[in-house]
């Protein structure tokens, strides 16, 4: 991340921290937790150690990052305002080295936006231009998603995906990273999408984007929770593991295997973020001194940025 961007991010964090402290004073239930300084990005060994120890955390750390009253708003849009709603084109949401000829595209739904704080520092270090293309509830995988408002397949999502794939192809980026939420995504007739359909849809998008000068990688999904982590932590500040989730979570319908199989079939890299978030059987909502999730489905911007080091290592071969 450039010095200017870093100053903006730090200044924004300070503003948010001040607001969180005020909220903590006013909100007795949440407790007056002192804001801690964001730790440096973790090495693979440091991340592994924190994750392994996370399932033993019972009491909220005194200096929680972000402070609990702010956790539910600790998302990528809070730090990168232009990416707050959607990025419907390859020129709207551009980060890192914005003038670089070498382009990395992050494409998908809110799970693409979610990883922005992790990937901006990685792209900046590689001196790449990072382009975010995303739409809420609209996966990059070529599948139909049920629209509960129209009681039909979301045509807007299909049109967005087709248009963005065409724009990305014309841009001819060096790398395209695909990231989607797969949990409980209904298709036609409001029936949950099958693993076979998800794999086929993922393969179709990969095939449409990869080429002689464009590498594609699939970022795996994360375990979904059945409780809202910040609300649960406020209710159980001395019993943090009440808010944990088993992995895989039998109460959610996800497509981990389908994404991995699609990447394998198409001969592209699959990046599995699960070891950076969950012990072998359990995902804790608190890792180290950090709240790791801002809702049931998304990693906090704080924890995503902490993972920028392991993300850089995982993508090193693609960004070389």
The 10s digit of each residue's pLDDT in 52-69 is 999 999 999 999 999 999
Please give the mean pLDDT across all residues of the chain: 90
pTM surpassing 0.95? Answer: no
CB 137 within 8 A of CB 111: no
- Identify the CA nearest to 294 among candidates 14, 119, 73, 117: 73
DSSP string, 42-95: PPHHHHHHHHHHHTT--S--SS-BS-HHHHTT-SHHHHSGGGSS-B-STTTSEE
In the chain, pLDDT over 90 holds for what percent of residues? 87
Question: 128 and 100 in contact (C-beta within 8 Å)?
Answer: yes
- Between 11 and 201, whose confidence is greater? 201
Q: What is the pLDDT of residues 140-199, one digit of tens each?
A: 999 999 999 999 999 999 999 999 999 999 999 999 999 999 999 999 999 999 999 999
* DSSP assignment string, 159-212: HHHHHHHHHHHHH--SEEEEE---TT-B-GGGPBPPHHHHHHHHHHHHHHH-BT
Select the CATH number that applies to the domain covering 3-319 from these four: 2.40.100.20, 3.40.50.1110, 3.30.1330.60, 3.10.620.30.
3.40.50.1110
Q: In angstroms, rounded to a whole number, what is the distance separating the alpha carbons of residues 51 and 228?
A: 20
User: How far is 124 from 129, CA to CA, in rounded Å?
Assistant: 8
CB count in 10 Å sphere of residue 47: 20
């Amino acid at each position: 991340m450039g010095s200017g961007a870093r100053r903006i991010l730090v200044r924004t964090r300070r503003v948010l921290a001040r607001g969180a402290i005020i909220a903590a004073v006013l909100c007795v239930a949440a407790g007056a937790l002192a804001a801690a300084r964001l730790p440096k990005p973790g090495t693979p060994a440091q991340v592994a150690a924190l994750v392994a120890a996370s399932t033993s955390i019972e009491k909220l750390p005194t200096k929680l990052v972000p402070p609990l009253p702010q956790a539910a708003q600790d998302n990528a849009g809070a730090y990168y305002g232009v990416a707050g709603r959607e990025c419907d084109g390859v020129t709207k949401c551009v980060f890192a080295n914005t003038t670089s000829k070498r382009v990395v595209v992050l494409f998908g739904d809110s799970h693409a936006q979610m990883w922005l704080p992790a990937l901006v520092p990685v792209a900046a270090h590689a001196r790449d231009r990072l382009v975010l293309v995303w739409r809420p509830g609209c996966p990059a995988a070529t599948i139909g998603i049920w629209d509960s408002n129209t009681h039909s397949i979301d045509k807007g999502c299909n049109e967005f995906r087709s248009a963005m794939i065409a724009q990305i192809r014309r841009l001819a980026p060096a790398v395209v990273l695909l990231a989607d939420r797969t949990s409980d995504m209904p298709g036609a007739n409001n029936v949950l999408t099958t693993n076979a359909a998800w794999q086929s849809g993922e393969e179709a998008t990969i095939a449409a984007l990869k080429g002689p000068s464009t590498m594609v990688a699939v970022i795996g999904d994360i375990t979904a929770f059945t409780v809202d982590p910040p609300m649960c932590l406020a209710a159980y500040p001395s019993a943090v593991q009440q808010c944990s989730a088993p992995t895989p979570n039998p109460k959610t319908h996800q497509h981990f295997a389908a994404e991995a199989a699609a990447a394998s079939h198409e001969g592209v890299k699959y990046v599995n973020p699960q070891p950076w978030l969950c012990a072998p059987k359990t995902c804790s909502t608190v890792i180290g001194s950090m709240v790791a999730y801002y809702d049931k489905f998304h990693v906090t911007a704080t924890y995503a940025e902490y993972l920028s080091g392991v993300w850089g290592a995982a993508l090193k071969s693609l960004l070389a």
